[in-house]
Chains A and B, each alone.
Chain A
Amino acid sequence: MQTLYFALALFLLFNLCAGMWRILRGPSIADRMLAGQLFGTTAVAILLLLAQATESPAMRDVALVFALLAAVTAVAFVQRAWPDLEEKHDSD
């Protein structure tokens, strides 16, 4: 099981790297934020897998904090940080 946990954590990490492309490219600021949200959830999954694999329950608390912070970040983005002038949305 240990091997499976580590393999899945690595797989999710590769998913994160692929998602980075959306953050770099955009096109709108909301798309970047969505990729950030996905990173948050994936990080929670990775932390939980590592907590089980290395038998360190403290990592579960870190995952809990990540989940909480991801939610707060998105709300702050919608309420405060979304500029009024939206970039042109491409249609590809």
Chain B
Amino acid sequence: MTVIDYLSATLLIGGAIFFLAGTLGLLRFPDVYTRLHALTKADNLGLGLMITGLALQAETWASAGKLLLIWLLVLLAGASVAHLIANQALRKGIRLWKR
């Protein structure tokens, strides 16, 4: 394994940890808004780290660019979707969680 391999393995495992955190948050958090918070962590950072790790291994610049574009699409979609769902949940009268 070369230095690049170690670096990308670290990034991939880091991304997997964020996915685990996102899933755990989705299972454990008490209401829609807090679950939304857990979900966007997995979307942005989990997939971001994974894609960086995979882009280091990509054979051509074109495939690395495509990976980057996938991540940008997911970032854009994730942010808009989180906003839409939270906004609509407030309008439908889902109460905020209080201890």
Contacts and interface: CB of A to CB of B under 8 A. Distances in A.
Interface of A: 1, 4-5, 8, 11-12, 15, 18-19, 21-22, 28, 30-31, 33-35, 37-38, 41-42, 44-45, 48-49, 52, 57, 60, 63-64, 67-68, 70-71, 74-75, 78, 82, 84, 86, 89, 91-92
Contact of A70 (B12, B67, B77): B77
Is the contact region of chain A dominated by helix, strand, or loop, or is it mixed?
helix
A33 B26 CA distance: 11
B51 A48 contact: yes
Interface residues of B, number: 50
17 contacts: A1-B57, A4-B12, A11-B20, A15-B19, A15-B20, A21-B27, A30-B89, A34-B35, A41-B74, A48-B50, A52-B54, A60-B67, A67-B70, A68-B73, A71-B77, A78-B85, A86-B92
Interface of B: 1, 5, 8-9, 12-13, 15-16, 19-20, 22-23, 26-27, 30-32, 35-36, 39, 42-43, 46-47, 50-51, 54, 57-58, 63, 66-67, 69-70, 73-74, 76-78, 80-81, 84-85, 88-89, 92-95, 97
